[in-house]
Structure 1
Amino acid sequence: MAKDNQQITTDDMQQTIYKELGYKSYPFPFTTPAYLEAYGTLVGLNTPPAKTARVLELGATYGGNIISQAVHNPEATFVGIELSQDQVEKGNKIISDAKLDNVSLIQGDIMNFDETLGTFDYIIAHGFYSWISDEMKDKLLDIISNHLADNGIAYVSYNTYPGWHTMEEVRQLMLFANRDHDELTHKEKVLRGKTVGSLVGSQILNYDNLKERNSKFLGALRSVMQKDDYYVGHDHLEPHNDPCYFYQFNDHLKAHNLTYVCDADLTLSMVRTYDESIADKLEKLAPNSQADQEQYLDFMLDTTFRKSIICKERAAKDINYDVANPDKVNTVPVRTIVNSFVFQILFDEEALEMFENDLVRDTFKALIKDGGTFNMIEALAILKAAHDAAKASEDDLEPAVCSLYKAIVEHMVRGGIRFYKTFPDKQEYMEGLSYVPARFTNFVKAIADGGSEYIYGANMFNDAIGDISEEDLLFMELLNKPKAKSTLIKKIKDSLFSADKAQTGKHQNAMAEAFYNELTKRMEQLGFIRSKKTDGLS
């Protein structure tokens, strides 16, 4: 009975925290079905199709991570479960305002999970595992074990040691500062914790010997002091904040018949791709154990946070990490996997000097100029054309192809190249053919009309859009169906610039055209553009 009362007290406390502080709900690109599908494919798993996936998020807050995904993936279905009634109500209002029918938020405690919800292709628990009791951690993994499709993928992120030991000092300082101040609201405790933290930090900085000895603590303290109040309140003053070592998390997975696949930060899982020396040392420390090698790496890197991708134990027999081995990148099985992806380059032309092979450098330069999105057929064709233009020897072609595959895989691991099996639907603007479907306009309107207090908008990759404006919405409403450029420019001028008597008609036309050019590019970048030739959805 005492345990039940404690659980009720903790739940009530968390509800109060959520109501006082809120928590602006972010979209996370590494939690999308397309992202998780690609990561499963990378290590040999036959993951469910992202386009029609059924997705569950545990600890969904206002729904900011899955509402945006639902907008860009109309054939997929999203369900979020959240303890806070306040956040669920506000999130569902945004869903209703956006007129979305493929996403819903359910208020509930995962300890009372509704078994009738069935199975899901992908399950997400971002920033959840570290902030719940041991009993709830077991329940979380039990839900994944029982409700994940046999070939499905789950994503669980959490604070980790050894890096969080220093952050734990900051948390304990803030908790101590509020130890005898039960009369304060949670918001006031955050302010007091920050004030005391700043005072302690400033005193350390007054003494060179203390500053040198406590450099890690000062770095952690500075990082926390710069965070938003709602982040500090949740991350450092929550009733639960329970980091663990990666090996402990991995042992917990095994107890629930689950298996670790890799980290969403591939530099933690595929070291040999970029540093063979460290990889050799890790293999000597833990031969034949991927998980143990990663734990040793965490000690080396002082890792503070992990984003673990996991699957059911029986699906793990298909996992292999050959793609992470430069000696195997150019084997047929690995090339077949790489050939199945569509890529997006995130670095710019200034970074091209890192490629030693001239043909590889020229290939990436051409790909960047063409927009940065490509598949291997296109990349190899550009490489062959560069080879022929240089009148290089035929003996030079295959080494360049091998170098290209290695370079692409290395930067997939390092994060400079995104990769997808089902590429997010991005189209170029075509005058007189392109339009903005109502689902995007309704979403942006819901954000602009008050939803921005609780969630961010997001592009097709689920990157946050922090600057959605009334001008965006105006243009999207104007482009509700394909229109001629002249028609759109006239409507823009009449709506935005005709009242400015200081400008001549010529200047107004120029400003309206500039606005048109800027917004058509922006709609492309956000993934809001569709063509009547390619999309029957609205």
Structure 2
Amino acid sequence: MAKDNTQMVNEEMQQTIYKELGYKSYPFPFTTPAYLEAYGTLVGLKPPTAKTARVLELGATYGGNIISQAAHNPEATFVGIELSQDQVEKGNKIIGDAKLDNVSLVQGDILNFDESMGTFDYIIAHGFYSWISDEMKDKLLDIISNHLADNGIAYVSYNTYPGWHTMEEVRQLMLFANRGHDESTHKEKVLRGKTVGSLVGAQILNYDNLKERNSKFLGALRSVMQKDDYYVGHDHLEPHNDPCYLYQFNDHLKANNLAYVGDADLTLSMVRTYDESIADKLEQLAPNSQADQEQYLDFMLDTTFRKSIICKASAAKDISYAVSNPAEVNTIPVRTAINNFTFQILFDEEALEMFENTLVKDTFQALIKDGGTFNMIEALAILKAAHEAANASDDELEPAVCSLYKAVVEHMVRGGIRFYKTFPEKQEYMEGLSYVPARFTNLVKAIADGGGEYIYGGNSFNDAIGDISEEDLMFMELLNKPKSKSTLTKKIKDTIFSADKSQTSKHQNAMAEAFYNELTKRMGDLGFLRNKKTDGIS
């Protein structure tokens, strides 16, 4: 399909933004097959197994969202499509340097999508829908409709109204500030937009009546002024930034035989879990539509961004939101679903006072001390042991079990507990057994050797790692196979500390041991460790 001149100019301008403003490609935790599989399972769908999934990302830029996923999921396959030849070449160089054979970037326009690519278990389009033409929006959903597996799940994120109405004022201010400056570079336009925005904001702050009347605009302006230049250039000075209401997006899905499942941020889709009063009002407003209830919620919250989970219309009949209703959490179907997951606690012991039930509090305290990763069988065993230790009566046990299930679900929704059906591999360091597979070392080396200009690495949950260092790489190369602590600390001392003649040998040994302790823990936290017993190596 031929492009018109306007579309070609817009695409060229977008690529200029990326080049001039140093755009970096991020990993995003909500987009992983493991998370999407867990989300689908939570609401009653039967999504494909994440471990061996085939994944497509549309608008992949340099590949920062899928390259680390590929390293952490060697049995899955990742394909990214990106319009920019420059970004594809640079991303594929990182992939080649990292020696990853299960991920690739393809240069292409989605309007000319290669139909021979087949079907995918998961399709991702992060930060893409709002920044493309209506024709490309149609094509994006057409690709999902025709190339998503029947039981597959897609993720599409976008700017949303009503919250973006105020952000749109900031965008228009910055566009107006650059009117008549077409010859300026995009970096200069961002600087001019930020300068003018700061001046306008400062003038409003000089007058109490203006400050009160324009408080929302000031908040949006302050938020934009604090963002990185590449973000401001992308969100506020690109040719396309086309927010929509959730209901409009949902109508677009229906027209393409797709169905809205919910938001990746569960607080937008499972309100009853944490606020029954709001949930009651939403049900009164839209008793037969989950999407319409969420649209009313967006008006209440002034929502600016959505991360929509999507399935085929044919699969939507299996969707159930029972898990979001505290009254149903302790029914057999919901408990059965919760029992399928492995969990990781993200809050610390200081937050335990929020639990009113003492047995539940003691259970979470024990789980946190044991590392924070658990399943319900383990949690229930701890709760029952705590019940027996407290010499509590038998009639106190079942209420405590019910409270535990409710607490787990509430904090899954609030984000205090991560949940996965296939838990991302994360192993604690074991001396003489743990090692760092070459795929992780090669990836970190590729990032350290220049790839870090274009992408961030990601841990096993696809959180961005912003502080990869030469010390990380050195230690990973040392730990290419299981070694004793004495061997590793000696190599660390010889490599890093021996050159410092101002330190005694004893002090150098102490520093090497501290470095060893810090780096072994860090490798485990990043998900880079494997165990020779579980991996079957000698």
| Fold in common (TM above 0.5) | yes
The one-letter code of the counterpart of 1:278 is: I
Give 3-state SS (helix, strand or coil) of 1:65's partner: coil
Q: Distance in 1 between matches of 2:34 and 2:307?
A: 16
Secondary structure of 2:503's partner? coil
| Alpha carbons 1:437, 1:537 under 8 Å: kept | no
Which of 166-175 and 424-433 deviates more? Answer: 424-433
Q: Contact 1:434/1:532 (CA < 8 Å) preserved in 2?
A: yes
Deviations 1:239-271 (A, max 9, x none): 100000000000000000000001011111011
What residue in structure 1 maps to residue 216 of structure 2? 216
Partner in structure 1 of residue 269 of structure 2 = 269
Q: How far is 1:21 from its partner?
A: 2.3
**Residues in 1 aligned to 2:437 and 2:518: alpha-carbon distance in whole angstroms:** 19
Q: Deviations over 1:87-137 (max 9, x none)?
A: 111111111110100000111111111111110000000000000000000
After TM superposition, give the deviation of residue 3 of structure 1 in Å.
6.9
Distance of 2:467 and 2:208 partners within structure 1: 42
Alpha-carbon distance between aligned partners in 1 of 2:536 and 2:263, rounded to the nearest angstrom: 37
Separation of aligned partners in 1, 2:473 and 2:485: 18
Q: How does 1:404-443 map to 2 (within 5 A)?
A: 404-443=404-443
Instruction: Describe the superposition over 1:412-457 as per-residue Cα deviations: whole angstroms up to 9, x where unpaired.
Output: 0111100000000111111111111100100111111111111111
Matched, 1:339 2:339: yes
Q: How does 1:308-347 map to 2 (within 5 A)?
A: 308-347=308-347
Preserved contact between residue 72 and residue 460 of structure 1 (Cα < 8 Å): yes
Q: State the Cα RMSD in Å.
A: 1.2
* Equivalent residues of 1:43, 1:323 under 8 A apart: yes
The code of the aligned residue for 1:175 comes to L
Aligned to 1:186: 186
Give the paired residue count: 538
SS at match of 2:398: helix
Aligned match of 1:72: 72
For 2:409 and 2:205, locate their aligned partners in 1 and report how far apart those are by CA, in whole Å. 44
Q: Does 1:110 find its partner at 2:110?
A: yes
The answer to whether structure 1 residue 457 and structure 2 residue 457 are counterparts is yes
Partner of residue 393, structure 1: 393
Give SS of 1:182's match: coil
| Residues 37 and 2 (structure 1), Cα distance of their counterparts in 2 relative to 1, 3 Å cut | closer
Instruction: Report the Cα distance in structure 1 between the residues aligned to 2:133 and 2:499, rounded to whole angstroms.
Output: 60
8 Å contact from structure 2 (residues 58, 81) kept in 1: yes
- Is the Cα–Cα contact under 8 Å of residues 61 and 87 in structure 1 kept in the other structure? yes
SS in 1 for 2:127: coil
Offset of residue 19 of structure 1: 2.3
Q: What does residue 254 of structure 1 align with?
A: 254
Shift of 1:536: 4.6
- Change in CA separation of 1:31 and 1:3 when aligned onto 2, cut-off 3 Å: closer
Distance 1:225 1:8 in 2: 30
Q: Which SS does the other structure have where 2:298 is aligned?
A: helix
Aligned to 1:360: 360
Which whole-Å CA distance do the structure 2 matches of 1:425 and 1:149 have between them?
25
| 1:180 alignment partner, SS class | coil
Q: Residue in 2 aligned with 1:237?
A: 237
Equivalent-residue separation in structure 2 for 1:38 and 1:377 (angstroms): 18
Deviations 1:514-535 (A, max 9, x none): 1111111111101111111111
CA positional deviation for 1:15: 2.5
State the SS of the aligned residue for 2:51. coil
Distance in 2 between residues matched to 1:357 and 1:15, nearest whole Å: 55
Task: Report if the CA contact (8 A) 1:15-1:83 is conserved.
Answer: no
Distance of 1:211 and 1:12 partners within structure 2? 39
Give 3-state SS (helix, strand or coil) of 1:428's partner: coil
Q: Equivalents in 1 of 2:134, 2:537: separation in Å?
A: 45
Q: Which sits farther off after the overlay, 167-176 or 84-93?
A: 84-93
Hey, what does 1:505 align to over in structure 2? 505
**How far apart, in 2, do the equivalents of 1:354 and 1:507 lie?**
44
Residue 384 of structure 2 is matched in structure 1 by: 384
The change in CA–CA distance for 1:33 and 1:300 in structure 2 (over 3 A counts) is same
Judge conservation of contact 1:47–1:152 (CA < 8 Å) in 2: yes
Report the alpha carbon displacement of residue 17 of structure 1 after superposing the two structures with TM.
Answer: 2.3
SS at 1:422 equivalent: coil
Query: Which residue is equivalent to 1:26?
Result: 26
Would the aligned equivalents of 1:142 and 1:256 in 2 still touch at CA under 8 Å?
A: yes
Gaps of 5+ in 2: none
Deviation at 1:13, TM superposition (A): 2.2
Report if the CA contact (8 A) 2:17-2:186 is conserved.
yes
| 1:323-357: CA deviation from partner (whole Å, max 9, x where unpaired) | 00001000100000000000000111111111000
Over 4 Å off, 4+ runs? none
Mapped contact 2:42–2:323 kept (Cα < 8 A) = yes
Any idea what SS the aligned residue of 2:160 has? Answer: strand
Aligned to 2:52, what secondary structure does the other structure show? Answer: coil
Cα distance between partner residues in 1 of 2:329 and 2:15 = 50
Question: For each residue in 1:7-38, what CA deviation from the matched residue of structure 2 results, as whole angstroms up to 9, or x when unmatched?
Answer: 22222222222222242111100000000000
Paired residue secondary structure (2:535): coil
In structure 1, what is the Cα distance between the partners aligned to 2:21 and 2:496?
Answer: 37
Cα separation, partners in 2 of 1:181 and 1:160, compared to 1, 3 Å = same
Counterpart CA distance in 2 for 1:266 and 1:229 is 30
Report if aligned partners of 2:17, 2:230 keep a CA contact under 8 Å in 1.
Answer: no
Tell me the SS of whatever aligns to 1:244: coil
Question: Equivalent residues in 2 for 1:18-97 (5 A)?
Answer: 18-97=18-97
Q: TM-score, normalised on structure 2?
A: 0.99
Find the aligned partners of 1:234 and 1:371 in 2 and give their Cα distance. 40
Q: Cα deviations across residues 143-181 of structure 1 (Å, max 9, x unaligned)? A: 000000000000000000000000000000001111111
Is residue 99–residue 439 contact of structure 2 (8 Å, CA) maintained in 1?
A: yes
- The structural deviation recorded for 1:6 is 2.0
Distance in 2 of aligned mates of 1:480 and 1:310: 40
The answer (yes or no) to whether the contact 1:164–1:243 under 8 Å persists in 2 is yes
Distance 1:455 1:511 in 2: 32
Q: Secondary structure at the match of 2:326?
A: coil
**Shift of residue 83 of structure 1?**
1.2
- The residue type equivalent to 1:492 in the other structure is I
C-alpha distance in 2, partners of 1:252/1:400? Answer: 45
Secondary structure class of the residue paired with 1:64:
coil
Give the secondary-structure state (helix, strand or coil) at the position aligned to 2:280: helix
Q: Does residue 5 in structure 1 map to residue 5 in structure 2?
A: yes
- How big is the shift at 1:235? 0.5
Per-residue CA deviation, residues 264-299 of structure 1 (Å, 9 max, x unaligned), is: 111110111001101111111111111111000000
Q: Percent identity?
A: 89
Q: Distance in 2 between matches of 1:382 and 1:201?
A: 55
Report the secondary structure of 1:281's partner residue: helix
Whole-Å separation in 2 of the counterparts to 1:513 and 1:147: 52
Give, as a single letter, the amino acid of the residue that structure 2 aligns with 1:7.
Q
3-state SS of 2:311 partner: strand
CA contact (8 A) 2:349 2:365 kept: yes
Q: C-alpha displacement at 1:5, in angstroms?
A: 2.2
Q: Answer whether contact 1:339 1:376 (CA < 8 A) is retained.
A: yes
**How many angstroms apart in 1 are the aligned matches of 2:532 and 2:178?**
60
In 1: Cα distance, 2:531 partner to 2:350 partner: 34
Q: Distance in 2 between matches of 1:179 and 1:83?
A: 28
* C-alpha distance after superposition, 1:478-498 (max 9, x if no partner): 111111111111111100111
